[in-house]
Structure formats: structure tokens, C-alpha cells
Amino acid sequence: MHISSVLWQFLVKWLTNFALYPPEASKIAPQFDALYFFMILVSLIGLTVVILLVTSFSIMYSKKRHPVAVQIEGSTMLEATWTIIPLGLFLVMFVWGALIYFRVYTPPANAMNIYVVGKQWMWKAEHPGGQHEINSLHIPTGRAIQLTLISQDVFHSFSIPAFRVKREAIPGRYTTVWFEATTPGTYHLFCTQYCGTDHSHMIGDIVVMTPEDYKKWLQSSTSGASLAQNGERLFASLSCAACHNTRPDARGPNLANVYGAKLTLANGQATLADEAYIREAILNPSQHNIEGYAPIMPTYQGQISEDGVFALVEYIKSLNSDYRVQQTTTTTTLLPESEGKTTPAGQKPAGQGMVKQ
């Protein structure tokens, strides 16, 4: 009696919140699901074919029905078919999948950048406005959000099933991912890369709000200074301005309009001054010396926390005359041609000018 009631509750519970896939709460989610269900379909067909073949043959040709086997060598024709058809299907999946992959990891130029640092065992998000959050992320709908991720210790992985996006937070290197939330609500945030004892407690909430609510939230949870302002203070306290200033005899490049510029390094390589570059230039300057400047920039490794680096990067970005427009990110240009889009034409002279000094 008792046990049956338990089973009954169990059944009810199952039927009530039974789902085959998570809610689609981002722009990419439907595109992902399209591919996913296409592959499910193909798999089901493939599986049915195999099962049908096996069962029907074992019925038709069981020893009772078919006492003597007919020896058959094989058939190149048939084998060719079941080599080529799967190959074709797999290649379709490959191309389709690659398109989605590049879409997920290629933020649009005008995305709003939120910095996220992962550490054992919590996520810390830094909004440009200076709002901090632990194990939660508030975002508006209808706006492209770019996450710049880094880990302070081990590999973590920032996963939002409802958005179908996931990106590893790697120690010592920025990674990026972007999404555009569509439906307000609260969704799961998981760390999916095993990261030690409390891995399974490194979870949180993604709170998607309408733009209005989001504004309200921003005001309510502001911490006074914006991220860029913190950066400015840090910039001063580290006396970076001693070299990086506007004076003609400045020993370091003037940082105005550096962000998003195309720089030529001392070793002749060209590079795009994105968040990753700026971080590297602060921590490992000797590999990121700009052409035409003496190699005197000291390293700040071990002197600034990752949050501090975020603040400095944001500050340097804010030195651009109109930086919101020019936000571009690491490794995003799919094709060299599309450079133009990522580094607006207006930027190039500035960049060159700075290098030439």
C-alpha cells in the first residue's frame, strides 16, 4: 500500500515535469535545436534500419526456416552505398555544426561586455557599470551580451543550458562567448569542467530581465564607482601615467584609442589590441612590445588580481573617444576581409599614429 503510493507520486512527478530538452531562451538556442533534432532524426532512421535488418533477417533466416546458409562473398555496390550515404550525412552535420560553432564564439561588434572570473568554487561577474555578482548573472533581453572569461586557478566551464552556450574559463588567458537572451526568467548556470572538491556547488542563476527591469536592477545594485573608474584609480596607484601619458617625451605609448587598434609589435608581427592583448601587455610586456618603444615596461604579474586587470582593461577601453561602438574581441574575425568591420576605418590612423611616435 505504502510503496504503491510512493510509486504513484513518483509517476505523477515524472509526468508533470518531464522534458526532453531545456527551454530555448536565447537566439542561438532554436538554431542549435534545429541541428540537434536533424541529427536525432538521422540517428533514429539509422538505428531503425539496423534494427529492422537484424530482426527481419533473424526471423527470415533462422535455422528453423532456413536450415542451409547461402554463402555470399559481399557486394561492393552495397558496401559503397553504406560508406557514401553516412559520409555525406556526417559532412552535412560537420558544416552545419561548424557554422553554429563560429556563430557562438564570434561576438558581434556592438555586444555589451561583461567580465567573468571563475575561481574554486564560484563565479564572479563584473559589469561595466561596476556591479559585482557572485554565482549569478543579470542580463537584459534583446541585447547581445559578450562574456570575457578567465579563471584564477583551474579550468572551469561557464555553461548555460537554456542558452545552449558553454565556454571554458582558462587560467591565464581570456576566452569569450556571446548570446542574446530572448525570454525573461531564471536559468541554470553550471560549472561543467570538473574543478575539484566543490565542483558540484559551483552553480548559479542566470537572471534574464526585460530592459526596463534590467535598468532598475543596475541602479539598485550599483557599487558607486564604475569598472573603468576603478581602473583609473588602479592606473594612478600603479603610476602607469609616468610613462603612458600624452607628453611628447612619453616613454610609453599614449593609450588613448589603443583599444581596437592594429599594432605592430617590436618583432614585426601585427596584432589587434583587444582585451586579451591588453591583458598580456600588462602581465607579459616583453612579448608584446610595440614597435618604436624601448623595452622598459615592467611586468605586473602577481601584483594585480584578475579583477584588477579587468578594471585596467575597461579603463583603457574607456579612453577611446567612442569605445562602445568599437568593441571587438579576441579571435573573432572569421575571414581577414571582414577586418574592416572589427576595426573601424577611423581607428587605423590613430593606431598607426601612435606607433609612429
Partner 1 sequence: MSSSTIVSLPDQSTARVPKMNFISKENGLLSWLLTGDHKRIAILYLVSITFFFFIGGALAGLIRLELLTPQSDLMATDTYNKVFTMHGIIMIFFFLVPSVPATLGNFFIPMMIGAKDLALPKINLLSWYLYIAAGILALYSMMTGGVDTGWTFTTPLSTHYLNTNVVSTGLAIFIAGFSSIFTGLNFIVTIHKMRCPGMTWFRMPLFVWAHYAASILMVLGTPVVAIALVLVVLERVAGIGVFDPTKGGDPLLFQHLFWFYSHPAVYIMILPGMGVISETISTFSRKRVFGYTAVAFSSVAIAVFGFFVWAHHMFIMGISNYSMLVFSLLTMLVAVPSAIKIFNWAFTLYKGSITFETPMLYTFGFMGLFTIGGLTGVFLGTSGTDIHLTETYFIVAHFHFVMVGGMLMAFLAGIHFWWPKMTGRMYPEKISQFAAVVTFIGFNFTFFPQFILGTLGMPRRYASYPPEFQILNVFSTAGATILGVGYLLPLLYLTWSLKYGEIAGENPWQATGLEWQTQSPPLTENFPAIPIMDHEAYDYEWLEGQKEKVASVG
Partner 2 sequence: MSDSQVVTGNEVVVHDAAEGAHHEHLPYQRHHFETYAQQSDATNFAMWLFLLTEIMFFGGLFTAYLIYRNWYYPAFVVASHQLDVVWGTLNTLVLIISSFTMAMGVWCAETRRRRGLVISLSLTFILGLAFLGIKSIEWGEKIEKHHVPGFHYSLQTFLDPASDPKVHKEYPKDQPLRLDMARHTEIYFFLYFAMTGMHALHMVIGVGILVFMIVRARAGAYTTGHVTFVENFGLYWHFVDIIWIYLFALLYLISRHP
Partner 3 sequence: MSEHHTPEQESPEQHEREHHIVGPKVYVVILFGLLLGTALTVLASFWELGILNPIIALAIATAKAMLVVLFFMHVKYSTKLTKLTVCAGIFTFVILIGMTLSDYMTRAWGRW
Residues in 158-217 that interact with partner 1 by CB under 8 A: 159, 161-162, 164-168, 170-173, 175, 188, 190-201, 203
Environment class of residue 88 by beta-carbon count within 10 Å: exposed (0-12), middle (13-18) or buried (19+)? exposed
Binding to partner 2 (CB under 8 A) within 267-296 occurs at 283-287, 295
From the list partner 2, partner 1, partner 3, none, partner contacted by residue 13 (C-beta under 5 to 8 A by kind)? partner 1
**Could you tell me the smallest distance in angstroms from the CB atom of residue 38 to partner 2?**
38
Shortest Cβ 338–partner 3 spacing (Å): 9
Sole window of 1-9, 61-69, 186-194, 271-279 interacting with partner 3 (rule: CB under 8 A) = 271-279
Q: At its nearest, how many Å lie between partner 1 and the CB of residue 281?
A: 15
Does residue 14 belong to the site contacting partner 1 (CB under 8 A)? yes
Query: Which residue in the set 336, 337, 345, 356 belongs to the binding site for partner 3 (CB under 8 A)?
Result: 336
- Does the protein bind partner 3 through residue 334 (CB under 8 A)? yes
| 189 interface partner picked from partner 3, partner 2, partner 1, none, CB below 5 to 8 A per type | none
Residue 272 touches which of partner 3, partner 1, partner 2, none (CB < 5 to 8 A by kind)?
partner 3
Q: How far is the CB of 267 from partner 2 (least distance, A)?
A: 9
Cβ proximity to partner 3: between 186 and 264 the closer is 264
Distance CA 198, CA 182 (A): 31
- 31: exposed, middle or buried (Cβ count in 10 Å: 0-12, 13-18, 19+): middle
Does position 330 bind partner 3 by CB under 8 A? yes
Write the single-letter amino acid at 44. L
Task: State residue 132 phi and psi, 5-degree precision.
Answer: -105, 150
237-245 long-range contacts, CB within 8 A, separation 24+: 238/300, 238/303, 238/304, 243/296, 243/297
- Give the DSSP letter of residue 226: -
Of 93, 96, 95, 147, nearest to 118 by C-alpha is 147
Residue spans of beta strands (DSSP E) within 66-131: 112-119, 122-126
Indicate the angle between helix axes 306-318 and 275-283, nearest 10 degrees. 120
Give the max Cα distance, the chain. Answer: 98
List contacts with partner 2 (CB under 8 A): 283-287, 295, 297-299, 301
List contacts with partner 3 (CB under 8 A): 262, 269-272, 274, 277, 330-336, 339
